[in-house]
Amino acid sequence: MSFPRTLAELRRSTFSEELLSARRVRDELRENLISRLRSAGDAPIFPGIVGYDDTVVPQIVNAILSRHHFILLGLRGQAKSRILRCLTGLLDSHMPYIAGCEIHDNPYAPICRRCRELVSRCGDATEIAYLTPEERYVEKLATPDVTIADLIGDLDPIKAARGGHELANELTVHYGLLPRANRGIFAVNELPDLAGKIQVGLFNIMQEGDVQIKGYPVRLRLDVALVFSANPEDYTARGKIITPLKDRIGSEIRTHYPATVDEGIAITAQEAWAARNGTRLVIPKYLREVIERIAFAARDDKKIDRRSGVSQRLPISCLENVISNAERRALRHDEKVVVPRIGDVYSALPAITGKLELEYEGEMKGADHVSRELIRTAIAKSYEQHFGGANMQQVVQWFELGGEIQIPDNAAAAEILQSLRNIQGLLDKLTRVNVGPKDSAEAQVSAAEFILEGLHAQKRIGRSEERVFTAGEKAPRIAEKPFEREEGPYRPRRPLN
């Protein structure tokens, strides 16, 4: 499709003067959203955003329909930046502007001096260029060293020298990020990190719709939709959003972590790098559940700082490490299919420990210890879901009679399967996770190990750090005479009078 390349051609096209001059960016977002709501049916408004259909997305839709500037407020790893970048899907496919303009001036109503002079000189022959939706999105990560010059602009002595202009001339202006986002979306991530005196620079654009650069008497009437993200923890840890700016933000929308394990699994499956080259990969559902429940358990654990949150990046990184460990084992033993095991989850500790902000009690125990506890908790819950009603007494009794088995995470599946066949009744239970005797050795070993790890998590059998499964520790015998603890050694309880 060819587009008009001069102002004269533009006047004769569908890009009418009335449309481009009267329709602001927030009007454009609103109209395109209305069109999508009417025609989309059950299709998602923001593709790739999982778990927000009944909570966050309706609030964002309301904010856009209200033509609000808005902020997404939530803990780390809640897809705030992803949502802001999805807003480009509500912009027109092409937007005309005067070619070469730094602030993408409207061809019918230019606001910068350079474009006004160009239109005056060239008239209908003025060249027209076009922006895609992605080019109309400008994002800035707020940091304490951001200046007004970065955000709004400043005078440029080099421009003045090269053009032979006085510094007071409007043509010497160097535009900041906000003017360069003109006729588009300007996003500020981690808004509280922006110094208070810099946040003041956003007042005019949000209320009056214009900005003033340095000491120039010229005000630029920009057309920008402003969106922000922030972490509630940052309000006190590193900075805050000043009250007058909060007052100018139309809608404050709270994000959240996945409400269910299935939602978390869907997000992790979407984001994790699992499509590896080489051997075929099969990830059992119970293993995905275990990995996801690690994050759920961490968010409820008192040894972990809840104000900091536990990012969805934890299960994503963990799954990637689990796959890599299983891939390494398959390559070593020339296995035809890669099937991760529970042991691979323990090998993925480096993907877990760095994502936990520990409280004092957690710091005393150490990140490795806390992470292992979380894995055991996740295994116990997943095991209960799949094998809660199963009779495992025969398996437990095999260990109580002196049986033991070692399942190293780097051992070949065929070798381990031969040993697992010695455990009476174990392989018969695999059908509960849809694994049968005709399935691959890798799948059978993975499911059998899940059962053994589940029994260990429930403290029905024991396991050493070398992954040797044995009988569980017996409960201590009750002493014939009760004892009580005093300051010194144990002493017999005094008889009652």
Question: Count of alpha carbons within 13 Å of 29, Cβ hemisphere only?
Answer: 29
Closest-CA residue to 44 (of 31, 60, 28): 60
Q: Domain 7-254 - what CATH class?
A: alpha beta
Q: How far is CA 230 from CA 308, 386, 416, in A?
A: 12, 39, 50
Tokens 């510094």 locate to 167
Q: Cα separation of 348 and 315, whole Å?
A: 10
Q: From the CA atom positions of the chain, what is the Rg in Å? A: 31
Closest-CA residue to 243 (of 183, 178, 199): 199
Q: Are strands 280-281 and 95-98 parallel, antiparallel or unpaired?
A: unpaired
Q: Cα separation of 405 and 416, whole Å?
A: 9
Q: Cα separation of 112 and 98, whole Å?
A: 11
pTM of the entire structure? 0.87
Q: Are 140 and 177 in contact (CB under 8 A)?
A: yes
Q: Cα separation of 69 and 403, whole Å?
A: 66
SS3 helix, strand, coil % of the chain, rounded to 5?
Answer: 45, 15, 40
Q: Cα separation of 183 and 71, whole Å?
A: 19
Q: How far is CA 340 from CA 237, 278, 291, 320, 429, in A?
A: 40, 15, 11, 11, 19
Residue ranges covered by each domain of the chain:
7-254, 261-471
Q: Cα separation of 114 and 101, whole Å?
A: 8
**Coil/strand/helix, residue 113:** helix
Q: Cα separation of 64 and 342, whole Å?
A: 45
Interaxial angle between packed helices 285-300 and 313-333, expressed in degrees from 0 to 180 and rounded to the nearest 10: 140
Q: Are 225 and 70 in contact (CB under 8 A)?
A: no
Question: Over the stretch 207-243, which tens digit does the pLDDT of each residue have?
Answer: 888 888 876 777 889 999 999 999 886 554 567 899 9
pLDDT in 10s for each residue of the chain, 497 residues: 588 999 999 999 988 887 787 789 999 999 999 999 998 777 888 989 999 999 999 999 999 999 999 999 999 999 999 999 999 999 999 999 999 999 999 999 999 888 999 999 999 999 999 999 999 999 999 988 899 989 998 877 777 777 777 766 777 788 899 999 999 999 999 999 999 989 998 998 998 888 888 767 778 899 999 999 998 865 545 678 999 999 999 999 999 999 999 999 999 999 999 988 877 999 999 999 999 999 999 999 999 998 888 999 999 999 999 999 999 999 999 999 999 999 999 999 999 999 999 999 999 999 999 999 999 999 999 999 999 989 999 999 999 999 999 999 899 999 999 999 999 999 999 999 999 999 999 999 999 999 999 999 999 999 998 999 999 865 344 344 443 444 444 444 444 44
Q: Which amino acid is at 218?
A: V
Q: Are 235 and 241 in contact (CB under 8 A)?
A: yes
What is Dmax (Cα atoms) for the chain?
A: 113
Q: Cα separation of 494 and 497, whole Å?
A: 9
Q: Cα separation of 80 and 446, whole Å?
A: 36
Q: Are 80 and 74 in contact (CB under 8 A)?
A: yes
